Amino acid sequence: MSTKKMRCGVAAVEALRAAGVTKVFGLMGSSTLEMYDALYDAKDIEYIGVRHENCGMHMADAYGRVTQTPGVFICGQAGPGSANMVLGLAQAKFAYSPVVAITGLASTEHLGRDAFQEIDQNTLFLPVTKRVMTVPRPKRIPEFILEAFRLANSGRRGPVVVNIPRDLFNHEIPVGWPMAAPASGRPPAADPASLAEISKLILAAKRPVIHAGAGIKWSRSSAKLAALATQLQIPVTSSAGHADILPVDFELHAGGVGPRGNPVASQLTREADLIIALGTRLGFNTTFYKYTDISADAKIIHIDVDPAALGRYFPAALAITADAGALIDGLAALMAPIAAGKAPWHARNEAYFKQRAALWAEREASGARSGTPMHPDVIYAEVRKAAPRNSIFTLDAGTTGFQATDQLPCYEAPALLTPLDCGMVGFSYSAAIGAKVGAPQRAAISLMGDGGFGMTMGEMTTAVASNIPAIGIVMDNGTWGSEIAYQRDFYQERYIGAHVHSPRFDEVMKLTGGNGYHPTAPGETADALRDALKAGKPAIIHVKVDPAATISFRKDALQKRA
């Protein structure tokens, strides 16, 4: 064994390097200073310092979704700093995003003594992560970090936290421990018998629909799905938050199902006699776990990489544990001889194409409205005109995300990053920064309300300091949009706490060192977006929108009062 030794902070950074890490988000603190000092010499790893741990987690989350490699966040401070990560970790868990968070912990001799900044971080993180690991000895720091990468990016992905007691960094360990990059297993493919059964069920159907979700994006199978849909002439609907599984202009892409979707797509799944659920859980935001937008009479073929997801919310006629992309390959080959033009669902498709065209005509008409404050549909229409085809869009939950999800010009997956079932406000702008770091060649455009942006506005300084030209479009209606809609629709306009006062965020961005725009009339948002893209600097577009355009989403949970 080598007699050479290295400090544990250096060993931790060498583990990151072995895992292929080139970008790290972090907020520095005294608990991990040895690791930070080692990063100073790691010129091949770019460090992006953030203003809040929660926002940094969102950046790592988005980076992981875009790159398919774990986003890394180094939390410098044990206790309060670590606790600030909790919501971001929960968000990543809901999204099944591969994230590795490395954080300090109180010294080993102080654990369990109510020491300064001591929190039971293991218990704190357990409900919101895929795994929590606490390093027991100095020499195991690299091993635990590499194991975190393997866990975060295998199977159904998720966030992993590595707690490192601060005193462990004060040691040296021998050089020569294994530094192999964590292996990634091959995704499972469907067996021939399952493929034959799928083919049989499709041929027996009269109104089949492919309903697809995140599994298509994780397997990077959008082109394969488009080819299969074209081959079989079966329309494709998307689960909530995944309207980017296929290009928005692909005629067989109906869009989202359910309350966050559109009526054309929802009609397809309501009337279907066969639903091929491909890489989706059929989760809450799509279905509310009810048969409102899913036919109770339809046979469901459920395909997911996680066997625990199969048939969990709706009974499956056929359940298959498989990677979405691998299954498409096998099914396309098996069904190649079928003449889809003679299929029983051909007439259904003709009606669908007309309905889809009418839906988009309505959207374009709504987006052409005049008057101020502008309707949100005007903003989405202008984004469709000005955004590059390879843009990545990030959204918050709430009324902005609810209205925008199925209207944005998504063409190249992954192109839409949302909070998904976590449903949090304050995600979008930080996510756009993380997405831009992960895909610098693509435009990263955040759309969010004024309330949500106020939660994360400090990260404007992150974008400027690290020269990350993400663009934020703040749609200012002066309210907490979903909540004021509930008070309007269910509580007789008894408004309390629902109004928001915000500064001109475009002016704040200018003070920070970026570009700011304040469109005041239709057409100006598109112009501002084009200019921001051309300038290549961090930018905020602050535009007033009509507060009366807010929409109630959770009609299932509230009852009108007399």
Lowest model confidence (mean pLDDT) among 196-200, 268-272, 393-397, 555-559: 555-559
Q: How high is the pLDDT of residue 482? A: 85
Beta strands in 317-470 (DSSP E): 318-321, 392-395, 416-417, 444-449
pLDDT in tens, 284-329: 889 999 999 999 999 999 999 999 999 999 999 999 999 999 999 9
Task: Please report the sign of the dihedral spanned by the C-alpha atoms of residue 476, residue 92, residue 101, residue 62.
Answer: negative
Q: CA 25 → CA 159, 204, 396, 538, distances in Å?
A: 14, 52, 21, 17
Query: Please, how many CA atoms are within 13 Å of residue 352, restricted to the half-sphere of its CB?
Result: 27
- Paired strand residues for 163: 103, 134
- Report the pLDDT value the prediction gives residue 259, as an integer from 0 to 100: 85
Does a cis peptide bond (omega within 30 degrees of 0) precede residue 419? no
pLDDT value at residue 424: 87
This prediction has a pTM of 0.95
Q: Is 341 a residue whose pLDDT tops 70?
A: no
Which H or E run includes 438?
Answer: helix 428-438
Verify cis geometry, omega within 30 degrees of 0, for the bond prior to 373.
Answer: yes
pLDDT of 560 > 80? The answer is no
Distance of CA 52 to the CA centre of its chain: 19
